[in-house]
Structure 1
Amino acid sequence: MVLGKILLTALLTSRVAASTGHPSGDWPWQTFKSSPAQPPSLRINKHGNTSPGYLIFNQNGPEVHNYSLFIMSDDNELVWQSERNGFADFRVQTFEDSPVLTHWQGLALGEPWGFGVGIVRIYDESYENIYNVSLTTAQENIIPSGGLDSGMLFSYLDFHESRITRDGTMLVTVYNVTEHDLSPYGGPRNGWVTNSLFYEMDIKTNTVLYRWSALDHTDQIPIDDAIQFHPLEDFGKNKTLPYDYFHLNSVDKLDDGSYIISSRFFCSIFRLTPNGTVEWTFQGENGGDFKLASDISFRYQHDARVRHVGEDFMQLSLFNNDNSAVKSGVNETTGIFVTLDTKTWTATLDRELVDPTDRVYAKSQGNTQFLDNGNVILGYGSTAKIKEFTPDGSVAMSAVFGHKDGTVFSYRSYRFPWIGRPKTSPSVYACIKSNETQVYMSWNGATEHKTWQVFAGSTEGDLSSQVSVARQGFETAVTLSGLPALIQVEAKTADIDIPGARSAITRAKEPCT
């Protein structure tokens, strides 16, 4: 029997088709009929024009509903959700002239350790895992802190950095517990420190191309210059609680082969020559090698990035937490842009971003992303907020996905354009309600289709097109007259052939719930 092509009603967007779940007190999340995805329900306020692209972030924290990676729109619509695992630093990067998704995956320990052990995964536009970057025991003798057994770990890469350079290499961080004499600083002679290292690695072969160690440069970066908020007397006595005096949290590479690194516990940005020596220090309280303008200060910063380099100057951005796990709530967290003049050795504030209507005190994590249209994204790390600022400093958008600081967080949050072409098929769910059939359809990660074609029939051989309906967000719903036994859907876009765009054939469930 061929069903009549009668469309009784097309439901609204997936914001309506999806239900929202949250036990009392938890942040709400979305649920769908055709997909197991459960993204957070973003509380979005838009006040101006945002840059093109999607919001790209991960979720962690003691009150998070699920540990996943998310690509979402400004309309609170899910585009893609990953499997559930421990993730960080999810973003779009370029590798071999193609956009790729990258993220860290592994085990992360919170305060007082604040580090992770894992690998970095790279995905193509189809969400296929094309490369994994790792550092194994066969390459380096690394001792993790926190009581972790190195014999049980496959890779030691920390979550703080996974940046692809213009050379097509990857910059990664590693924390290594190392025996060190701490008696000059009031600690034990046979003490233990967390040594911050970074590596530049070949993505395809995992070959180490460059290695830098903070402990190798204590003549230029003395341990007692650290501005620690965890006192030494509580640490350094064993491998489980070593003294983390440096805490490397970002690495950038310049065209001349030098590096810009950020140390949280020195409240400093260092420029390293290609051979690893310190060329200069930019310190947030005393300036280091630079004289600070009166309006510049920063503490416990993250995500130091090079914006422009001239003959005698450098422009940097950084995420100024200005808060810690021990002290917070006094100085608000900001994004700052500075110019460092290496001729006059002065530091000038170019721009500071803050939302006066919603002051944030992020104790850890966070990032500053400069967008092509001049807007800037601030991801607030341990505070579950993302804000986009316009060039004049006003807030174009804010998105919230958790309650108070430290309960739900995203190490870094971004906005990027992205075209997803998944190799997985669309998903469909159908159920019976009275004399009608309700059909729900979605395709996790797909970005190009505009409509859905719905097929129905009594057998696989007589499936026929019943209706074409416009795509409405992540999950689109439609109600068909009659009670067909079998349902199939196909994602469609004019003038584009989408491979694998047909779902499997499903049987309508009875009844709808």
Structure 2
Amino acid sequence: MVVPSPLYFSRPDIVHPHLSIRHAIPSPLDHHSFIFVAPISALDNDTDAQQQSGPLILDRQGDLIWCGAAEVGSVSSTTTFDLCEWEGDPALCLFRGQKRSAVGYGQGVVLDRHYQEIAVIDADDGPIDLHEFRTSPSGTVLFTTYRPWPYDLGLDHGVGWVLDSGFGEIDLRQRGRSASFTWNALTHFNISESAIPLRSYPEIFGSGRSHRDAFDFFHINSVDKDDHGNYLISARHTDSVYLISGKDGTVLWQLGGKNSWFHGPGAEFRRQHHARYRSGNGSHTLITLFDNTSDGYSLIGSESRGVEISLNHYTMAATVQRQFTAFQPGGLLAHGMGSLQMGSNGEAMACFGSNATITIFDRNNQAMLDASFDDRFLLYRASVHSWSGSPRRPPNVWAYARTPHSAIHVYVSWNGASGVEFWNFYVADEPGSYRLAGTKQRTGFETNFTCDINAGQASLVIAEAVGYDGARRNSSPSSPFMPPENLASQCGEAHCFTQSTFNYRLRSSSSTTLRGPESPVQGGCAKSSLPGLRLRLAQAMAAGLFLMLVYMIGRRYWTTQRRYQDGNCNITY
């Protein structure tokens, strides 16, 4: 089912997927924590979904806080997106680059709390992969890499190719930012360790017959560090999690797969993602991972889950401490992607990757929130954090009045601002003579306010954001837009757009048709009651040309004035 994107009059350039909330229990954390996701298109030929892909910060009601969509289509994509740390301050880390099949080739990007780009990280010997890019409190960056190498696969046409995956760490405190540690799977493992038989589904896992179709025998998809400087990695195609020595790269232990060092329920997972170190001592280690138990091709499981696993280094027993399955009856089976985040307060978030579904659990494993994007999208990971975003740009305002005698309707938003409590609205006949027209609590990404003043009494409007901490920030002045007199009768009191107009806006750049209501939305254009087919057709054509003109002018304005305002937020053309 396709869910139409939210429509913002103050920011018509922002288009993003809608997060549908199926289940929610109010929590004291609702106003202090935010959801970090980066939806990506499920289909390579779905241009509309590609244009909506990119990093998003949402509140726990599903309303947008920040749209930071990276460049889309065949140029680049964003998968990994999360809160991180940069020089002791909270920051945003994301992968930005090209996606080819199941791996990526690009850069790691770090943004500060003002959404300004403060670092771009490259690997020494090639591009960074999409599966992992994150900073550490010790001032380093962890990332994954993929490289094809010649390898004797026993093929009838000679030497074959293997896709070798690995990881690296860069010490940001060192001059030149060269890698302080690198590791690759082929140095330590034979391809016989793979759970994927060679030549099985070559279109998915690679046939090994060329460097562009190398056999992906290992498939690293996460990297983390323990308290002793060792690396915890997940290899999806060996069904294993490994602890790698931070000194010489040797394998310290293996959990799962053909040669697991541990036994028990905690070692029984398949095609997993997102292994994370939680804590440890000399006798025990606590980790988490997302158990897909399926890849959709060579292995079909029953139900995906997030698991917290305790490892006993004396008995070599692996036990499941906590388990998180989907809120929906019967669970969900995520053939790809997925994550599990554990909070210090006992709260957990499970992301059911290819189902684009997230669920937040409390410390008693009760589902507090369950939500999803529509089936045009996938989610590689998701997380929930507190965040204080403070954009450099001022708030955006669009004001409208149907006639000079009509009330002024004001629409205001501030992309990236996480702490706005309410808005003050001011009007003036001329600059410098502003007076308060009213106050309204923030209602989602865009707040709509109706002034008790008509357009003939005020030519300028300003919105002032007031934060929970009392901080204030004004928008730039905006003059109310009024349609031409001959078309005003066809416009509503609140605005002059219909759902079909916005659907046209989206369809004009895509072959994908949004299935949304085609009738006028509340406050939009009303159907003409004048008789005569010719008159109605003429009015419809005039209204269509007028609305298209408004759209073209608005699109050009936002393209030229706001194109780089929001971390390369996608423009809808």
What is the identity percentage for the equivalent residue pairs of Structure 1 and Structure 2? 26
- Structure 1 runs of 4+ aligned residues shifted over 4 Å read 49-52, 186-189
| Of 65, 77, 81, the match for 1:79 | 65
Q: 1:390 to 1:259 in 2, by over 3 A?
A: same
Selected match of 1:121 from 101, 109, 115: 109
More helix by share: 2
Partners of 1:395 and 1:187 lie apart in 2 by 53
1:30 aligns with 2:2: no
TM-aligned CA deviation for residue 291 of structure 1: 1.9
RMSD over aligned CA atoms reads 2.1
Partner Cα distance (2:229, 2:54) in 1: 35
In structure 2, relative to structure 1, the CA distance for the partners of 1:187 and 1:472 (3 Å cut) is farther
Alignment CA distance shift 1:360-1:93 (3 Å): same
**Contact (CA 8 Å) 1:181, 1:188: kept in 2 or not?**
no
Matched, 1:93 2:84: yes
> Which residue number in structure 2 is paired with residue 40 of structure 1?
17
List gaps (5 residues or longer) in structure 2.
72-76, 484-494, 497-573
2:214 aligned with 1:238? no
Query: What is the 5 A alignment of 1:400-479?
Result: 400-403=372-375, 407-434=376-403, 435-479=406-450
1:339, 1:385 → 2: CA distance?
A: 26
1:236 Cα shift?
Answer: 0.9
Instruction: Tell me, yes or no, if structure 1 residue 259 matches structure 2 residue 250.
Output: no
**Taking structure 1 as reference, are residues 464 and 66 closer, same or farther at Cα in structure 2, changes over 3 Å only?**
same
TM-score, normalised relative to structure 2 = 0.76
Q: Aligned with 2:474: secondary structure?
A: coil
Q: 1:306 aligns with which of 277, 296, 305?
A: 277
CA contact (8 A) 2:350 2:360 kept: yes
Distance 1:254 1:330, change over 3 A: closer
**Does structure 2 retain, via aligned residues, the 8 Å contact 1:99–1:125?**
yes
Look up the match of 1:488: 462
Secondary structure in 2 matching 1:265: helix
Q: Helix, strand or coil for the counterpart of 2:314? A: coil
Q: Which amino acid aligns with 2:263?
A: K
- Cα distance in 2 for residues equivalent to 1:418 and 1:473: 17
Q: Structure 1 residue 277 and structure 2 residue 245: aligned? A: no
Structure 1 residue 451 displacement after superposition = 2.1
Deviation at 1:41, TM superposition (A): 2.2
Counterpart for residue 56 of structure 1: 36
Structure-1-length-normalised TM-score: 0.84
The reply to whether residue 130 of structure 1 matches residue 118 of structure 2 is yes
CA–CA distance in structure 2, aligned partners of residues 454 and 400 of structure 1: 35
For residue 468 of structure 1, report the CA deviation from its aligned partner: 2.4
CA shift in 2, pair 1:421/1:229, >3 Å? farther
Letter in 2 for 1:278: V
Q: Deviations over 1:135-164 (max 9, x none)?
A: 2xxx31x4xxxxxxxxxxxxx100111122
Q: 1:296: how far off?
A: 4.9
What is the 5 A alignment of 1:171-320? Answer: 171-183=142-154, 189-203=158-172, 205-217=176-188, 221-228=189-196, 231=199, 234=202, 235-274=207-246, 275-284=248-257, 288-293=260-265, 296-320=267-291
How far apart are the structure 1 equivalents of 2:380 and 2:196? 21
Amino acid in the other structure paired with 1:305: R
Pairing partner for 1:508 from 480, 484, 498: 480
Range that drifts further, 58-67 or 325-334: 325-334
1:360 aligns with 2:340: no
Following superposition, the deviation at residue 319 of structure 1 comes to 0.3
Q: Secondary structure at the match of 1:506?
A: coil
Q: Measure, in 2, the Cα distance between the counterparts of 1:354 and 1:449.
A: 35
Q: Distance in 2 between matches of 1:187 and 1:508?
A: 73
Cα offset, 1:196, TM superposition:
0.7
d(CA) in 1 for partners of 2:259 and 2:190? Answer: 16
Between the two proteins, the alignment pairs up a number of residues equal to 457
Q: Using CA pairs under 8 Å that are at least 6 residues apart, name the structure with larger relative contact order, 1 or 2.
A: 1
5+ long unaligned stretches in structure 1: 1-24, 143-155
Richer in strand (by share): 1
